[in-house]
Amino acid sequence: MLTSNVALAQQVITGKVTDGKQPVAGATILVAGSKEGTSTDANGNFSLTTNQSNGQLQIKFIGHETQQINFSSTAPIGTIILVPTSEQSLDEIIVVGRNLIDIAEGRKTPIAVSTIKQQEIEEKVGGQDISATLVNTPSVYVGGQAKGFGESSMTTRGFDQSNTAFLLNGQPINGMDNGRVYWSNWSGLSDISSLVQIQRGLGSSKLAISSVGGTINFVTKSTDMKEGGFVKRTVGNDMLRRSTIAYNTGLMKNGFAVSAMFTDWRGDGYMNKTEGAGQNYFLSVGYKVNENHNLNLMVTGAPQWHNQGYTGRLSKFLSEGRKYNDNVVIVNGTETNYRKNYYHKPVANLNWDWKISDKSTLGTVVYASMARGGGQSSRKDATSAKVPYLAADVNNHQWYGIVSNYNRELNENLNFNVGFDLRDYKGEHYRQVTDLLGASSIAHTGNVFLPGLTNVSNEFSTNPWKTWTDKPSSIEDRLAWDYNQIIRYAGLFGQIEYAKNGFTAFFQGSLSQQHNSRKDVFQYTEGNQDSEDVNNFGYNVKGGLSYTLGGHTIFGNAGFYSRQPYQNNIFAYYTNVVNPYAINEEILGLELGYKYNSRYVDVAVNAYKTTWANRVTGSSQTANQSAVNKYTAMGKNLQLGEIIYTTNYGVKQDHKGLELEVAAKPFSFLQVKGFGSVGDWKYEGISNSILRNEDREVLEETQRDLTGIKVGDAAQTSYGAGLKFFISNGLSVDGDYRRFERLYGSLPSNAATLKLPNYDLVDAGISYKVQISDKNAISLRVNVNNLFDKFYLSDATSNMDATATTEYWKGINTSNYVLVGWGRTWSGSVKFTF
């Protein structure tokens, strides 16, 4: 039995930990909110001296759920029995870069966070990309899947992907020129991730990054594993086929460990003519130098190509079906889609973890990313015959960086760390011919070095592997534009955290300097090709307090950011002219929260308010006939069906909301999860808007008063629940329900955002695992998404005025350009582990 005594303001807690049958040796016993702790001996017994008269014990042991037991000076607790689990704790998962990766469990002051572990990633992704793992979390909206493989987009608290920080083993992966993340370039993440954690709002990242919407950490599988591997085959709707093979050596006697994985996939795509194919590769080599030094080299990439969908008129989806694709054209009697994305972005990083002493550590990652690829579409040449051809807008880059973090335990209550973040980026952008469509050549104009018409007869491949081996295009082959971007970034960050008797406090700060320059060899003559250097200083500060008592925690966080603008917003009109509207964005974030944790139920409630000034937003819409007539009359070049891009400068947004997340395990055979979020997201003030065609020619500049317009691209109210039943040993079924309300489309160039109909979705799955031996097992998984085949709109890019002849669907003018969500889809997989 466990007893407690108090003497001289201290009490000694003694007890025993078992798994229900045998004593558990080596279990970790911690007093929540402090650094007091011990471990069990060979007989499962422990003795722990604490200054607290009451509080909570946390009992952790590999392969078992963390138990949280309340204690006081008067009430005995009893023998502690651990519950087995198939999942590891976060600390066990993070072997690579443990001194760099900002997982919330590693910081005592709480934040608004949701964590998805490897088993759930594998179950929920199915035939989708990694963003599918986050659809059942508060304030997250994932849409755009119907555009094609890897085309989904995600918003967090109403802020898009360019304003959410994404980290891979501590390495920033947002594009340095525009902040964007394209999931097609990261399709391998669903194969290699052992953990995904979304930190909504301020987050716990110490880097000099502005996680306005939140921070999402991807932690890859570790090389410090036991020996073994697996083969896996997945099939799904629309001829999806996916094959994966993986093998881990485990930690060998020479200190090395190697993990390798390769995936090949292909499919026809959900929307008409959105075929795609690609590969994912992953190699991780770890070396344990000694007890104090660990090295890990990781190389990963996901070469792929896929045809693309886009929005279309709602009337077309209603008459042609939800798989209708506005990009499809008829060529010689055959349906053809010329819109294609192709890309290959290898990433390599070297992590070094150094345990300097019992009280100090140093973590460092050096990384590099080199990308080749672009987006293809149909064009017409500059001759009077307007000869058609296909061309790709190429976006190559070279990106190098280093992040290092030193952590020091100043005393048993105080922890300090400091570090730096350096990045160097060069982007290359031009257009080149990919298919002459039978013509012998096409002609183009616009390059100041090539007066008159220039004939082009060379074609360049859209095979993502060949982008690395093909001879680069010459100056004569480069159409419409040809420029380089240079971005250099230096950040310094630090954090201090205090924890004692259930009370914690932290303060973080960072300073950063960003250099931007541009070289344009298409529009400018020799000597005028280099832009002026633009250097911007930025900073952020954030801090928080919390108090934990008996499983209950209340916390508050606040932060302010002064964030440098992205380079794509610094230089106006895609020229070397510096944009006067591109100034530092200012973000203020406030957050209050409550958490309750027990053996059977976890509850988290968060309230937030984020204001964002001087920001830049973008949207796009399809040109209709009235737009063509308007801009043609103005002497501008615009074709029917072409995409019009709108950029809004000087925008201010005000976002506030409430979030709820619940997880319970009332019985050993049942897990229950629930979430809900209610937001109020609005624009404020006057913005300056610039409209461009696909050739980046400015069509129009306007001013707009956005005050009171609802922020779109995400549902401002969402809620849902999930159940998982363990029917028998190895057999389980699960289901998820979620509903989205107050959903608005993207901000069009001349109207408010369009309110879309509410909708709800149900997903279901079944898993079965047969353990053949200690090392061998067969796992089966089947997913069905949108089980009831609901027809719904996930986005809109226009807001058409009503007319006398207007037709409506659920109150929506059917002339609007919308994106329809996936209907019922399915996937099934079989995995053999050895």
Average pLDDT, the chain: 88
Q: Which domains, and CATH codes, for the chain?
A: 3-85 (2.60.40.1120), 228-833 (2.40.170.20)
Over the range 543-569, which residues count as b (16 or more CB within 10 Å of their CB) and which as e? bbebebbbbebebbbbbebbbbbbbbb
Distance (Å, whole) CA 347 – CA 823: 34
Q: Which two tokens stand for residue 205?
A: 């990242």
Collect contacts of 694-702 with beta carbons under 8 A, ≥24 apart.
Answer: 694/377, 694/642, 694/643, 694/645, 695/480, 695/637, 696/480, 696/481, 696/573, 696/574, 697/636, 697/637, 698/573, 699/631, 699/634, 699/636, 699/638, 699/644, 700/631, 700/634, 700/636, 702/749
Radius of gyration of the CA atoms of the chain, in A: 28
Q: Distance (Å, rounded) from C-alpha 109 to C-alpha 33?
A: 9
pLDDT class of 93 with cuts at 50, 70, 90: very low
Residue 239 DSSP class: T
Each residue's pLDDT tens digit, 715-764: 999 999 999 999 988 899 999 999 999 999 998 877 899 999 999 999 99
Q: How confident is the model at residue 99 (pLDDT cuts 50, 70, 90)?
A: low
Res 87 pLDDT > 50: no
Neighbouring residues of 334: CB distance < 8 A, sequence distance ≥ 6 = none
pLDDT in tens, 609-650: 999 888 777 777 788 888 888 888 888 888 888 888 888 788
pLDDT at 3 over 50: no
Residue 516 has pLDDT above 60, yes or no: yes
Give the residue, 108 or 527, on which the prediction is more confident: 527
Provide the total of helices (H) and of strands (E) in the chain, helices listed first: 6, 51
Q: Spell out the residues 6+ positions from residue 736 whose beta carbon is closer than 8 angstroms to its own.
A: 135, 136, 720, 721, 722, 762, 763, 764
At residue 101, the pLDDT reads 66
- DSSP state, residue 469: T
Give the pLDDT confidence score for residue 86 in this predicted structure: 46
H/E segment holding residue 603: strand 601-622
> Is pLDDT of 511 > 90?
yes
What is the pLDDT, as a whole number, of residue 627? 86
- Nearest Cα neighbor of 344 from 399, 305, 386 is 305
Please state, in angstroms and rounded to a whole number, the distance separating the CA atoms of residues 782 and 236.
9
Each residue's pLDDT tens digit, 330-388: 999 999 999 999 999 999 999 999 999 999 999 999 999 999 999 999 999 999 999 99
Distance CA 708, CA 492 (A): 38
In this predicted model, what pLDDT tens digit does every residue of 771-806 receive, in sequence order? 898 788 999 999 999 999 999 999 999 998 766 567
Which residues lie below 8 Å from residue 155, measured CB to CB, with a gap of 6+? Answer: 140, 141, 161, 213, 713, 714
Query: Considering only CA atoms, which of 71, 80, 49, 16 is closest in space to residue 548?
Result: 71
The answer to which of 83-92, 128-137, 450-459, 659-668 has the lowest mean pLDDT is 83-92
Tokens 């991780």 found at = 284
Residue type, 468: W
pLDDT digit string, tens, across residues 697-724 = 889 888 888 899 999 999 999 999 999 9
